[in-house]
Structure 1
Amino acid sequence: MPLRPVMVNIKALDAPAVGGFWAEALGWSAYHPGVTTYVGPGGGPVWPDPVFVCVDVVPVPEPKTTAKNRVHLDLATTSASHQAELVARLESLGATPADVGQGTVPWTVLADPEGNEFCVLEPRDIYRDTGPIAAVVVDCADPRAMARFWGEAIDWTLHEVTDDRAVLRNAKGVGPYLEFLRTPGTKTAPDRVHLDLLPYPGDDKAAEVARLRTLGATDLDVGQGDVPWTCLTDPEEHEFCVLAPS
């Protein structure tokens, strides 16, 4: 069975601080199950969450480069006043305006306290039922190729595919969208943000990883050593991990 996206992995020098920022930004809670800071809905650290793609902030020794991340979060709002209030609140928490060449647009581009870019969207009907994260957005050269790979890799439904954009979402119609946007430029540095995927109970992780390789994934060595997860890249070199079932 294809894999399920369960977390957005964000690297940070100060994982508790960045995790605390994202907990406040999303209206969720920060948990510290180990060396990482897990951010998810309140009520306890449910993992994997049955609805939402949550956030896991992982400590690393290297700061972010000046290169724009190729993966970012879009945050949903319900009205113009909500958008303005959210932007003001995020800036009070340490977010800063970011210029990624967006020009004059109705959404606001910010960076978290360690420079990871994200967007606060103007209200859009399509995102009214997603929760605080409207979409996980991936820059790419070929959305159609990304749709072919990710449409087979994960168990989400393909909603749209054009030369400029591909959109997937959980088949149950819950949680955020996964969007691949045709974007100029090429990858120049390892990304600070990536998706973590998880097999379903009873599925064989090794078999799933082998299946991904046949679809075009490539093994990735980031110095992880002997760990229970597997690091891979998709056909456009976006990093992602396949986690071991608990």
Structure 2
Amino acid sequence: MALRPVMVNIKARDHSAVGRFWAEALGWNATGGGSGVTTYVGPAGDFVWPDPVYVCVDVVTVPEPKTTAKNRVHLDLATTSAAHQAELVARLRDLGATPADVGQGDVPWTVLADPEGNEFCVLEPREKYRDTGPIAAVVVDCADPRAMARFWDAAMDWTLHEVTDDQATLRSAKGTGPYLEFLRTPGVTTVPDRVHLDLLPYPGDDKAAEVARLRALGATDLDLGQGDVPWTCLADPDGHEFCVLALS
């Protein structure tokens, strides 16, 4: 048994506006959910969710605005050249992104925030991310990358590529799509996550058994006031929220 990450969930007060921003940012399509409180952002064309490689974006309405604390999870966007990086940053600012200072100092990447303040990075060209698509990585701040690697490597069917005291990296076993990266970040502020991963079982697997397996690995139940919903909210050993979705 194993799970696959299928969506990055972003909380927003205005799901439509933030969803449109991310669709334009990634060159993807935005589709309103039937509930009226969510916007799905996924690749254009004949895309059928869930995709074996793409990790989509799901923007969900919440009443609370983002706090001033930096999100513990963010997206890194890939670029193919210095000119592409400059063009993308300019285009994103035209779409409503604003510069963000998270203490990064003088770095070759650009830190921005979406229209509701969710931080993300536009990376300088890196060979590692040449074939990821627009999302280079989902980046998670944590206290112990080695512990996170042990949990997430066991939780998902992705391949573990790197583990050090400072960073752990996983990617789809297919060798395409974005990376999942855990960065050691001492003193990170623990706040409710406005960005988190949604995982999905494979057809034929039992969701309840998968949730039980995650609990045995160190996940804990999380009550966000979600009530009676078909998905299960959990927290990983470092306290990051994630959800296990139900197969439709």
Shorter chain as denominator, the TM-score bin is: over 0.9
Deviation string 1:153-185 (CA, Å, 9 cap, x unpaired) is 000000000000000000010100000000121
1:150 matches 2:143? no
8 Å CA contact retained: 2:141, 2:188? no
The residue that corresponds to 2:205 in the other structure is 203
| Contact kept in structure 2, 1:6 and 1:196, CA below 8 Å | yes
- The corresponding residue for 1:41 is 43
Mark the runs of 5 or more structure 2 residues left unpaired by the alignment. none
What corresponds to 2:133 in structure 1? Answer: 131
Unaligned runs of 5+ in 1: none
Paired-residue identity, %: 85
Q: Distance in 1 between matches of 2:190 and 2:53?
A: 33
SS of the residue aligned with 1:179?
strand
| Aligned pairs, number | 246
1:187, CA displacement in angstroms?
3.3
Per the alignment, in what secondary structure is the counterpart of residue 208 of structure 1? Answer: helix
- Show the counterpart of 1:28: 28
Contact 2:140 2:183 in 1 (8 A): yes
Shift of 1:32: 1.1
Q: CA deviation at 1:21?
A: 0.1
Distance (whole Å) between structure 1 residues aligned to residue 48 and residue 244 of structure 2? 19
CA RMSD of aligned residues (A): 0.8
Provide the TM-score with structure 2 as the length reference.
0.98
1:44–1:222: structure 2 CA closer, same or farther, 3 Å change rule? farther
Task: Determine if contact 1:31/1:45 at 8 Å carries over to the other structure.
Answer: no
* Aligned counterparts of 1:44 and 1:90: Cα–Cα separation in 2: 26
Which of 225, 235, 238 pairs up with 1:236? Answer: 238
CA distance in 2, matches of 1:179, 1:58: 23
Q: How far off is 1:116 after superposition? A: 0.1
- Separation (CA, whole Å) in 2 of partners of 1:49 and 1:155: 14
Taking structure 1 as the reference length, the TM-score comes to 0.98
Q: Residues of 2 paired with 1:57 and 1:133: CA distance? A: 16
